[in-house]
């Protein structure tokens, strides 16, 4: 399907013509593609209409010609185009993982009309604006300082990704594959290389000048206990001042839980959707 700037996105609708079941649109993270959702589709596909798509530059979707094509405002426009195409009259439920969740936070904070979104479930992908504000929140206690220092260490890869050519070389040499490990997904070289532009176009600029906005959409944050990149403190504390209806659920998994242990995620997503139906 076409985007507002003339690219083509690869969208897969696992429903059927005339499907009236609740629609769940899934947004994958980095360095994955939409195949990360296939285990979840197998678990929930009989109960929900599930739609997945390859984020621009990943999988079978086209890549923009410049870094500006990865700005988060354009990613929100892509998501809205998918929503409008697959469910033109009814709101959809959203599920995001890693960078898919990070970009979807922008959508639910107003970049996509809130009446088009029924719920949002976030897994291991905090809002950049909320993160920037959380890091600046005064907390002189030893535990508060420790939480922020710990998250800074866990997010150090973001600084690495800003360096020209070095992360590309690390991916091509296999070094980052050994470090990142994780989800049993059919990642391509394009997924690994193109997705770096998501960080370069958005991460530092958004967190340097955070502008968190109120979120009126019901949000569920799923927190893997063994996430090496997003601490529980960040995942749960950063959204709390801004989300009117926030539910937090802990699971015994890693950052890659959506692919490694989808059986932990699937019932939480389904039950949250149905509780807000």
Q: What is the pLDDT of residues 223-276, one digit of tens each?
A: 999 999 999 999 999 999 999 999 999 999 999 999 999 999 999 999 999 998
- Distance in angstroms (rounded) separating the CA atoms of residues 136 and 129: 11
Domains parsed from the chain with CATH numbers: 11-275 (3.40.50.1820)
SS (H, E, C) 85-99: HHCCCCCEEEEEECH
- What percent of the chain stands above pLDDT 70? 91
For the record, the structure tokens of 209 come out as 């000048």
Helix residue ranges, H only, 45-165:
72-86, 99-106, 128-136, 142-154, 156-161
Please answer whether residues 220 and 120 qualify as being in contact, where contact means their C-beta atoms are separated by less than 8 angstroms.
Answer: yes
Cβ–Cβ under 8 Å, residues 257 and 266: no
For residue 159, the model assigns a pLDDT of: 75
Is 0.85 topped by the overall pTM?
A: yes
**Which stretches of 77-235 are assigned E, i.e. beta strand?**
92-97, 117-123, 219-226
């Amino acid at each position: 399907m076409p985007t507002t700037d003339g690219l083509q996105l690869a969208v897969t609708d696992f429903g059927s013509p005339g499907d009236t079941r609740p629609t769940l649109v899934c947004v994958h993270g980095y360095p994955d593609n939409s195949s990360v959702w296939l285990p979840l589709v197998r678990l929930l596909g009989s109960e929900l209409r599930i739609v997945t798509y390859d984020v621009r530059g990943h999988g079978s979707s086209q890549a923009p010609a410049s870094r500006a094509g990865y700005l988060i405002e354009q990613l929100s426009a892509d998501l809205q185009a998918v929503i409008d195409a697959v469910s033109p009259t009814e709101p959809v439920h959203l599920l995001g993982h890693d960078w898919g969740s990070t970009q979807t936070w922008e959508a639910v904070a107003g970049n996509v009309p809130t009446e088009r979104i029924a719920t949002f479930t976030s897994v291991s992908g905090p809002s950049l604006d909320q993160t920037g504000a959380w890091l600046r929140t005064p907390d002189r206690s030893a535990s508060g300082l420790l939480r922020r220092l710990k998250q800074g260490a866990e997010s150090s890869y973001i600084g690495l990704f800003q360096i020209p050519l070095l992360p590309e070389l690390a991916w091509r040499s296999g070094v980052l594959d050994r470090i990142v490990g994780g989800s049993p997904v059919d990642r391509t070289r394009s997924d690994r290389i193109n997705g770096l532009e998501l960080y370069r176009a958005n991460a530092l600029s958004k967190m340097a000048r955070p502008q968190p906005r109120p979120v009126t959409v019901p949000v569920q944050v799923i927190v893997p206990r063994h996430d090496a990149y997003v601490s529980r403190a960040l995942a749960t504390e950063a959204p709390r001042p801004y989300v009117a209806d926030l539910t937090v659920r802990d699971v015994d998994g890693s950052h890659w839980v959506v692919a490694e242990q989808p059986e932990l995620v699937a019932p939480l997503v389904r039950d949250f959707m149905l509780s807000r139906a």
